[in-house]
Amino acid sequence: MLNHRVSSLTRYFVLLFLVFLIISGCTKPTDQPPVPTEPAATLPPTDAPTPVPTAPAARLLLVDPAESASTELASYLSGFAAQNGLQLETVNTPELPPQTPETRLVIFLAEPAGLAELVAASPETQFIIVGDVALTGAGNLSVVQTRGYDLTFMAGYLTQSIAWDWRSAGLIPADVVMSAEKTDAFINGARYLCGVCTPFYAPIVSFPMLAQESMQADAATWAVQVDVLRQHFVNTFFVDPAAASIETLDGLKGLEPSIFNDVKLVGLDTTQNADRFTALIGFDVLPGLQLLLPQVTAGSGRLSVGAQVKITSYTDETFITPAKIDNFNKVAADLAAGIIIPLSMP
């Protein structure tokens, strides 16, 4: 009986042990052989790109110390620069250092000091000078000529075109710069319009007449000359800036009662007391630059064109009519192009 109980107990523990083994075998993770992994791919070394410096932008430099560039000129230069891949820059200092090749073109609106040295030190830059400048042998220098006698030629033309019965005169100091040339051009400009310019009414003389004194002469001295002009009923006057004092201008306007006519005054746009004048004239450099710039930008140099004279302001449309302005502009264009010679043949 006891043996039977021991045997049963033994079988019980054996069975319990087997169950334990079975459970342990089910829960134990199965060992897997390691899976070999491929080594990470190694890319061949590449050279880092070398930074390429950006080339400086090609530029067009406008040098305008007096800030005299008109709105029309500034607009044209801006458009021209954009069309030709240039960057427009404006500076107000008259002196420039030698220019590097990225400065393709420099325009001076007034002649600078040391121009020859600057041009020689900047061989890859083209220069255009606006002024009464002689063209040199430099291959990278061109000029828009502003000749003083071109102004007096057109002053003579305008004075004569608005004078009643051709009765005009010029007040040009005898000792002003290029006085002889300016006087000759003034007379030629008037006579370009009307030949000998003989009036219809007496007193009969050929016009224009001329009054000359020193630049230092006062209004009283000029008044003696003006009285001679009064006797010939001169009603329209060109007054050189050197003679345009308020006293002299008022003396001319004071002739109106004695000559039974209006007095008209023509002057230059650089003159003082500009409000006293019927019309002022000056240079327009834009047409000259429009001719030069395409050629100069293409590499041509040593070119010269004339600046065109224009009526810059006027106060009385009764005398300065659209038709007279149109005729004036046609003559001024021919003068700038060299078709008209303003000075007498020697």
pLDDT digits (tens, 9 = 90+) for 135-176: 887 899 999 999 999 999 999 999 999 999 999 999 999 999
Q: 278 with 162: CB under 8 angstroms? A: yes
For residue 113, tell me if it sits in a domain: yes
Alpha-carbon gap, residue 277 to 85, rounded angstroms: 44
Q: What is the mean pLDDT of the chain?
A: 88
Picking from 262, 292, 293, 290, the residue whose alpha carbon sits closest to that of residue 278 is 262
Q: Are residue 101 and residue 210 in the same domain, yes or no?
A: no
Q: What integer pLDDT is reported at residue 32 of this predicted model?
A: 53
Q: Are residue 296 and residue 319 in the same domain, yes or no?
A: no
Q: Are residue 198 and residue 255 in the same domain, yes or no?
A: yes
CATH of the domain at 206: 3.40.50.2300
73 pLDDT tier (thresholds 50, 70, 90): very high
Q: Are residue 271 and residue 298 in the same domain, yes or no?
A: no
One-letter identity of residue 230: R
Percent of the chain with pLDDT over 90: 77
Alpha-carbon gap, residue 207 to 169, rounded angstroms: 7
Residues in Cβ contact with 243 at an 8 Å cutoff, skipping those fewer than 6 apart = 171, 172, 173, 213, 215, 217, 222
2 pLDDT tier (thresholds 50, 70, 90): very low
Picking from 134, 73, 81, 83, the residue whose alpha carbon sits closest to that of residue 103 is 81
37 has pLDDT over 90:
no
Higher pLDDT, 16 or 74: 74
Report how many domains make up the chain: 2
For residue 227, tell me if it sits in a domain: yes
Alpha-carbon gap, residue 78 to 87, rounded angstroms: 8
Alpha-carbon gap, residue 162 to 315, rounded angstroms: 13
Q: What integer pLDDT is reported at residue 201 of this predicted model?
A: 94
Alpha-carbon gap, residue 18 to 167, rounded angstroms: 147
Higher pLDDT, 137 or 113: 113
Q: Which of 8-22, 250-264, 294-308, 332-346 has the lowest mean pLDDT?
A: 8-22
For residue 21, tell me if it sits in a domain: no
Alpha-carbon gap, residue 281 to 289, rounded angstroms: 19
* Assigned token pair, 32: 């897997």
346 pLDDT tier (thresholds 50, 70, 90): confident
Q: Are residue 190 and residue 263 in the same domain, yes or no?
A: yes
Dump pLDDT digits (tens) for 193-246. Answer: 999 999 999 999 999 999 999 999 999 999 999 999 999 999 999 999 999 999
Q: What integer pLDDT is reported at residue 8 of this predicted model?
A: 61
For residue 196, tell me if it sits in a domain: yes
Q: Are residue 104 and residue 170 in the same domain, yes or no?
A: no
Q: What average pLDDT score do residues 310-321 get?
A: 95
Kindly compute the dihedral angle of the four CA atoms of residues 208, 209, 212, 215, in this order, to the nearest 10 degrees: -40
* Domain range enclosing 87: 59-145+286-305
Q: What integer pLDDT is reported at residue 6 of this predicted model?
A: 47
47 has pLDDT over 70:
no
25 pLDDT tier (thresholds 50, 70, 90): low
Q: What average pLDDT score do residues 54-77 get?
A: 88
For residue 234, tell me if it sits in a domain: yes
